[in-house]
Homo-oligomer: A and B are copies of this chain.
């Protein structure tokens, strides 16, 4: 399939090479940031462009991989055509395409992408939507050589999967950042927490996260919870988070007294 990548950020840098490796023909990388676009085009040995006038409308598929806030604007800039256009956002409606394009949809990967970190693309779940049978089939055909985990999902469910992914990934990672920040304040290496972090993520493969919960809040160790809050004095934001999440653990799991 002839594919145009519109965007050259983290998603494009993982999805682009995976699509090429699985046999698709990457016609072009298009985007605003010349340095990012050039770098990805070079990696894929393909051409690039920085204005939407240059876009190859003879493509079979155009994949818009830009910030959620920019999807609408980019959709306006891309000329209409026979191709199927899709975005990769978890939160943006497919409706942003409907007034201009006949064939459109969504290709949302439920994964976190950082530039330098490898991702097993065949393990990534992809949520797909299509404006009609043609576009749905095309999106499925586009992604099926990359991953077998394809979920045809409606817009409302996708949005909830996205919110859940923010909790499970972005907020979990922020908990690691807070831990790192606290350890740094005492010159302790973050290394000491790595086995714990691995084990926490590993456990939920076999038991529900509710069953996997440990720690003072879930044990009902109220003395430790209040000591922790005392020791966090002067770190108001972390204290507020600690108090709110401890309360929430007790609300959801109930203290095991």
Residues of A bordering B, CB below 8 Å: 10, 67-69, 89, 91-92, 110-114, 116-117, 119-120, 123-125, 149, 151, 156-157, 159-183, 185-186, 188, 190, 192-224, 227-228, 231-232, 237-238, 240-242, 244-245, 248-249, 251-253
Q: A205, B194: Cβ atoms under 8 Å?
A: yes
What's the nearest-Cβ distance from chain B to residue A230, in Å? Answer: 10
Q: A197, B216: Cβ atoms under 8 Å?
A: no
A228 contacts which chain B residues (CB < 8 A)? Answer: 91, 162-163, 166
Q: A68, B223: Cβ atoms under 8 Å?
A: yes
Q: B177, A200: Cβ atoms under 8 Å?
A: no
Known: A164-B182, A188-B161, A192-B110. A204 touches B241 (CB 8 A): no
Q: A215, B169: Cβ atoms under 8 Å?
A: yes
Q: B241, A245: Cβ atoms under 8 Å?
A: yes
When C-beta atoms are compared, the residue in chain B nearest to A227 turns out to be B91
When C-beta atoms are compared, the residue in chain B nearest to A237 turns out to be B248
A91 contacts which chain B residues (CB < 8 A)? Answer: 216, 221, 224, 227-228
Q: A174, B213: Cβ atoms under 8 Å?
A: yes
A217 contacts which chain B residues (CB < 8 A)? Answer: 170
State which of B125, B185, B203, B220 has its C-beta within 8 Å of the C-beta of A112: B203
A204 contacts which chain B residues (CB < 8 A)? Answer: 173, 176, 190, 194, 197
Q: A176, B172: Cβ atoms under 8 Å?
A: yes
Q: A200, B172: Cβ atoms under 8 Å?
A: yes
Top 10 A-B pairs, shortest CB-CB distance:
A170-B215, A201-B201, A176-B209, A164-B179, A168-B179, A172-B172, A177-B209, A167-B179, A68-B224, A91-B224
